[in-house]
Amino acid sequence: MRTKDKLIEAVTGSTLGFFALAVGFLFPLLTLGVLLYESLPAIKKFGLWDFVTGTTWDPVAEVFGALPALFGTLLVTFLASVVALPVSVGIAIFISELSPKKLKPVFSTAVELLGAIPSIIYGMWGLFVIAPLMADYVEPFLQETLGRVPLLGKLFEGAPTGVDALTASFVLSVMIIPFMSAIVKDAFGMTPSLLKEAGYGLGATKWEVIKDVIIPYALPGIVGGMILSVGRALGETMAVAFLTGNVHQIPKSLLEPLTTITVAIANEFTEADSDIYLSSLYYLALILFVLSFGLLMLAKFYLLERLGKRWGTKNI
């Protein structure tokens, strides 16, 4: 039995170790290698700085610059995160602390099921439902109110079409809210009951316990949920492909069309009729891969580690 146990342990351990190594290191390295190999013609022709800072995307002249797509990706992701974070934290607070116990599974399941909706459904919903509402009501209202504020009004200039950065960001925020709220809710659930009971014992109200005990304890989880959701938003394609307009320009306001890296690749990959055109699209994919991977690495090895030490909580 002892020999069999050792044999089973050795085989199982080596097999699981191989899969862990493959998922954690081998697959990302292979992906990086393929993207790097396919991007070599564009890297040799444009370099890194000229490609990243270039603003011209002209397949006919074979001149390609990634700045409009890169800027659009970061802008849409940032706006979506700004909208999704407070809503997700509010949902997590309600489900974990305020909702009746019998209704907690109902609300929790309902929110998590939103994450199972295919992204193309979000895109079609955004195009046929949200975009007309934004064009007819929301964006004209913003122009009449915030548009009159000095400096801030520059963000709402232009014709309200509903196919722009603002609408794409809103739909993307709705899409990442289920992921972010689920992670934040789990982080709230990890708060020891002893800490909450100590707060109540000192005379704190429910909102004071939430504000001064639960949120500080769960802060690494909140940051982790935000960054993981941002990583998903960076790579989202179909939810924003319907709503950006796929125009290679740096928008001067939130009501102008733009493009993102994923949208540019999805819309133009089959149209790439030259080697340098195709290589430039691979170069965009390489930049997105490095950006997403770097963001997750930053989240794990810097932000979460630092916040965990600050608040005395375990690493996530």
At 207-262, the pLDDT tens digits run: 888 888 898 888 877 887 888 888 888 888 888 889 998 899 999 999 999 999 99
How many domains is the chain built from? 1
What would the mean pLDDT of 27-49 be, rounded to a whole number?
89
Q: How many of the other CB atoms lie within 10 Å of CB of 252?
A: 11
User: How far is Cα 94 from Cα 251, in angstroms, rounded to an integer?
Assistant: 37
How many percent of the chain have pLDDT more than 90? 39
Q: Does position 16 have pLDDT exceeding 80, yes or no?
A: no
Does 298 or 75 have the greater pLDDT score?
75
Q: Tell me whether residue 46 is in a domain.
A: yes
Q: Tell me whether residue 5 is in a domain.
A: no
Q: Tell me whether residue 47 is in a domain.
A: yes
Q: Tell me whether residue 85 is in a domain.
A: yes
Does 64 or 113 have the greater pLDDT score?
64
At 46-70, the pLDDT tens digits run: 988 899 999 999 998 889 999 999 9
pLDDT at residue 316, rounded to an integer: 42
Least confident of 13-22, 29-38, 267-276: 13-22
Let me know if 39 is exposed, middle or buried by CB neighbors in 10 A (0-12, 13-18, 19+): buried
What is this structure's pTM?
0.86
225 close to 184: Cβ distance less than 8 angstroms: yes
pLDDT at residue 117, rounded to an integer: 87
pLDDT at residue 158, rounded to an integer: 87
What would the mean pLDDT of 119-137 be, rounded to a whole number?
93
Q: Does position 107 have pLDDT exceeding 90, yes or no?
A: no
Q: Does position 22 have pLDDT exceeding 80, yes or no?
A: no
Closest CA to 218 of 178, 188, 192: 188
Q: Tell me whether residue 13 is in a domain.
A: no
The string over 66-86, giving b where at least 16 C-beta atoms fall within 10 Å of a residue's C-beta and e elsewhere, is: bbbbbbbbebbbebbbebbbe
Q: Tell me whether residue 7 is in a domain.
A: no
Q: Tell me whether residue 147 is in a domain.
A: yes
CATH of the domain at 165: 1.10.3720.10
pLDDT at residue 315, rounded to an integer: 42
- Whole-number average pLDDT of the chain: 85
Q: Tell me whether residue 177 is in a domain.
A: yes
Structural domain boundaries enclosing 68 = 21-311
What would the mean pLDDT of 5-12 be, rounded to a whole number?
64
pLDDT at residue 172, rounded to an integer: 93
